[in-house]
C-alpha cells in the first residue's frame, strides 16, 4: 500500500486547517492537507454573511471570500503544500505512527508525518423526536450547502429549531432565497446568537418562540408539518401542542467537536461544556499531551470561524517551530492578543471559562491521572 510522507499533516481544510497550512508553509515546512470534502474551505464556502471581529480576521468580508483569501495565501507558497481533497483520514495507529486514509470510496493509502494538526471541525447535533427520519428534516449545515454551494432551496416553508447564530443566520439566508420561515423555536429562555441576527429576522415578521421546542414531525413519505410545544423550567413539555404548517424542519441545536483522531493519538481529553464537548487539553502553542499533535478550530472547542483561523495560525507556527524552522519573534503573543480581543464579549467569557479547564502551562507539571 502506498505511503505518503510529510513534515506536517493538517487534517481538515476549513478555516483552521487552511490558516495552519498557510502559516507552516510560509515558515518553510512541507505540509500535506487532507480534506474529506470535494473542495477546500470547510464552512467558509457556505457563509454568505459578513464577518464580525477585527480587520486581521477579515471583518466585513463574506465567508466564502475569506476562503478565497486563505487559498490565495497557500498558493503563494504552493511549493511547500500538497493538497488532497475527497480524502478522509480513517484512523491513526500509534504503534508505528501511521495514518490510514481513503480517497473517494476505493483508494486506500497511508500517511506518515512528523507533526500533525487536527483541524477536523465539528459535527452537527441532532435531537430525537417522532418522524425525525422523514425526508425534509435537515441539519442547518445541509441547508447551507444546498443553498449557498449548489443553489438549491430545500423547500417552501421552514420551521427552524434553534436560535443560536447558525439558526438565525440560516433563517435569514432562507428568506433571502425566497423561502418562508414559519417560526424559530428555542428551548432556552433567551436567544443564543447575536441580537443583530435575531433582529433582522424579527423585522421580517418571523416569530422567535423561546422556551419552545419541536414535539414531533408530521408526514407520511415527506414532511408536511410539525407540532411544537412550550417548555417549563425543567425543559419538560407543558400546555397544548401547536401545529406548524411546513415542508422542511431545520435543526440548528449546536455542534460537537470532532476529536476521534486526537483520542486515537492518546491525547489527554476532557469534557468541557463551555467548549461544547470532548476536547484535547493543550498549551498556548495548541500542542496536546502527545507532543507531535496539535489541535485548532472547532475540534478544540466550538467558537467563531475568526477564532478558528487564529488558532490555526498558532498551531501552524508552533508545529513549524518544533521542526526547527525559523519563526518571527513575538508572533505567538500577537496571535494570542488577537484571540483575547475576539473573546472579549459575553460569548467569549464562556469560551474563556472553558479554556481555563483545558489549558496547561507546562505538560511536565500535568499528572497522568
Q: Give DSSP secondary structure letters for 69-138.
A: HHHHHHHTTGGGEEEE-SEEEEEEETTTTEEEEEETTTEEEEEEEEEEEE---EEE-----TTTTSTTEE
CATH of 132-251, picked from 2.60.40.10, 3.50.50.60, 3.90.1150.10, 3.40.50.1370, is: 3.50.50.60
Tell me the mean pLDDT in the region 264-276.
Answer: 97
Identify the pLDDT of residue 59.
77
Distance, CA of 180 to CA of 250 (rounded, Å): 12
Residue 179 has pLDDT above 70, yes or no: yes
Identify the pLDDT of residue 47.
81
Is residue 343 within 8 Å of 335, Cβ to Cβ?
Answer: no
Identify the pLDDT of residue 50.
78
With a CB cutoff of 8 Å and minimum separation 6, the contacts of 314 are: 284, 285, 286, 296, 332, 335, 336, 339
Residues in the chain: 369
Looking up cell 422542511, which residue turns up?
Answer: 248
pLDDT in tens, 240-259: 999 999 999 999 999 999 99
Distance, CA of 49 to CA of 9 (rounded, Å): 30
Q: What phi-psi label fits residue 268: left (phi over 0), alpha (psi between -120 and 50 degrees) or beta? A: beta
Identify the pLDDT of residue 317.
98
Of the candidate ranges 1-15, 109-123, 202-216, 336-350, the one whose mean pLDDT is the lowest: 336-350
pLDDT in tens, 10-26: 999 999 999 999 999 99
Residue 315 has pLDDT above 90, yes or no: yes
Exposed/middle/buried for residue 331 (C-beta within 10 Å: 0-12, 13-18, 19+): middle
Distance, CA of 309 to CA of 364 (rounded, Å): 28
**Residue 21 vs residues 6, 10, 109, 168, 316: alpha-carbon distances, Å:** 12, 7, 21, 31, 6
Distance, CA of 316 to CA of 293 (rounded, Å): 11
Question: Is the dihedral angle over the CA atoms 344, 192, 294, 20 positive or is it negative?
Answer: negative
The domain made up of 3-123+255-365 has a fold known as FAD/NAD(P)-binding domain (3.50.50)
**Cell of residue 60, nine digits:** 466585513
Identify the pLDDT of residue 67.
92
Residue 115 has pLDDT above 70, yes or no: yes
Tell me the mean pLDDT in the region 213-225.
Answer: 97
Per-residue pLDDT band for 55 (boundaries 50, 70, 90) equals confident
pLDDT in tens, 290-307: 999 999 999 999 998 999
Tell me the mean pLDDT in the region 272-276.
Answer: 96
Average pLDDT of every residue of the chain: 94
Phi and psi, residue 269, nearest 5°: -115, 155
Identify the pLDDT of residue 45.
86
Distance of CA 110 to the CA centre of its chain: 26
For the chain, residues classed under CATH 3.50.50.60 are: 3-123+255-365, 132-251
> To the nearest whole percent, how much of the chain has pLDDT over 90?
87
Tell me the mean pLDDT in the region 112-140.
Answer: 96
Identify the pLDDT of residue 51.
83
pLDDT in tens, 76-103: 999 999 999 999 999 999 999 999 999 9
Distance, CA of 24 to CA of 34 (rounded, Å): 15
Identify the pLDDT of residue 64.
86
Looking up cell 422523514, which residue turns up?
Answer: 134
Look at residue 329 and give its three-state secondary structure.
coil
Looking up cell 478555516, which residue turns up?
Answer: 15
Distance of CA 42 to the CA centre of its chain: 8
Residue 365 has pLDDT above 80, yes or no: no
Neighbouring CB atoms inside 10 A of 126's CB total 13
Identify the pLDDT of residue 369.
52
Identify the pLDDT of residue 345.
78
Look at residue 34 and give its three-state secondary structure.
strand
Tell me the mean pLDDT in the region 37-50.
Answer: 86
Of the candidate ranges 62-66, 122-126, 142-146, the one whose mean pLDDT is the lowest: 62-66
pTM over the 0.85 mark: yes
Is residue 101 within 8 Å of 91, Cβ to Cβ?
Answer: no
Tell me the mean pLDDT in the region 181-191.
Answer: 97
Distance, CA of 10 to CA of 34 (rounded, Å): 6
Exposed/middle/buried for residue 180 (C-beta within 10 Å: 0-12, 13-18, 19+): middle
Tell me the mean pLDDT in the region 126-142.
Answer: 96
Amino acid at each position: 500500500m502506498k505511503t505518503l510522507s510529510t513534515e506536517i499533516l493538517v487534517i481538515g481544510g476549513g478555516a483552521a486547517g487552511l490558516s495552519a497550512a498557510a502559516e507552516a508553509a510560509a515558515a518553510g515546512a512541507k505540509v500535506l492537507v487532507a480534506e474529506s470534502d470535494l473542495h477546500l474551505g470547510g464552512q467558509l464556502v457556505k457563509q454568505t454573511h459578513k464577518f464580525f471581529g477585527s480587520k486581521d480576521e477579515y471583518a466585513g468580508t463574506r465567508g466564502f471570500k475569506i476562503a478565497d483569501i486563505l487559498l490565495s495565501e497557500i498558493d503563494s507558497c504552493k511549493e511547500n503544500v500538497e493538497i488532497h481533497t475527497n480524502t478522509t483520514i480513517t484512523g491513526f495507529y500509534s504503534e508505528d505512527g501511521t495514518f490510514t486514509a481513503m480517497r473517494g470510496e476505493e483508494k486506500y493509502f497511508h500517511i506518515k508525518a512528523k507533526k500533525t494538526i487536527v483541524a477536523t471541525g465539528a459535527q452537527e447535533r441532532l435531537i430525537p423526536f417522532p418522524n425525525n427520519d422523514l425526508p425534509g428534516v435537515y441539519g442547518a449545515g445541509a441547508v447551507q450547502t444546498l443553498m449557498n454551494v449548489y443553489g438549491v432551496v430545500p423547500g417552501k416553508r421552514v420551521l427552524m429549531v434553534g436560535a443560536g447564530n447558525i439558526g438565525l443566520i440560516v433563517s435569514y439566508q432562507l428568506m433571502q432565497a425566497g423561502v418562508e420561515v414559519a417560526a424559530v423555536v428555542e428551548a432556552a429562555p433567551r436567544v443564543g446568537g447575536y441580537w443583530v441576527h435575531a433582529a433582522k429576522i424579527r423585522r421580517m415578521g418571523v416569530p422567535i418562540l423561546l422556551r419552545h421546542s419541536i414535539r414531533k414531525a408530521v408526514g407520511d413519505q415527506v414532511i408536511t408539518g410539525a407540532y411544537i410545544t412550550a417548555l417549563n423550567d425543567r425543559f419538560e413539555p407543558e400546555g397544548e401542542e401547536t401545529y406548524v404548517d411546513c415542508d422542511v424542519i431545520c435543526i440548528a441545536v449546536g455542534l460537537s467537536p470532532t476529536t476521534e483522531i486526537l483520542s486515537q493519538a492518546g491525547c489527554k481529553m476532557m469534557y468541557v461544556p463551555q467548549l461544547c464537548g470532548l476536547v484535547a487539553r493543550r498549551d498556548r502553542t495548541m500542542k496536546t499531551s502527545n507532543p507531535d499533535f496539535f489541535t485548532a478550530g472547532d475540534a478544540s472547542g466550538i467558537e467563531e470561524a475568526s477564532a478558528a483561523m487564529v488558532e490555526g495560525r498558532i498551531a501552524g507556527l508552533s508545529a513549524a517551530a518544533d521542526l526547527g524552522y525559523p519563526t518571527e519573534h513575538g508572533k505567538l503573543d500577537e496571535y494570542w492578543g488577537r484571540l483575547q480581543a475576539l473573546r472579549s464579549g459575553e460569548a467569549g467569557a464562556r469560551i474563556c471559562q472553558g479554556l481555563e479547564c483545558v489549558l496547561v502551562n507546562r505538560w511536565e507539571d500535568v499528572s497522568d491521572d
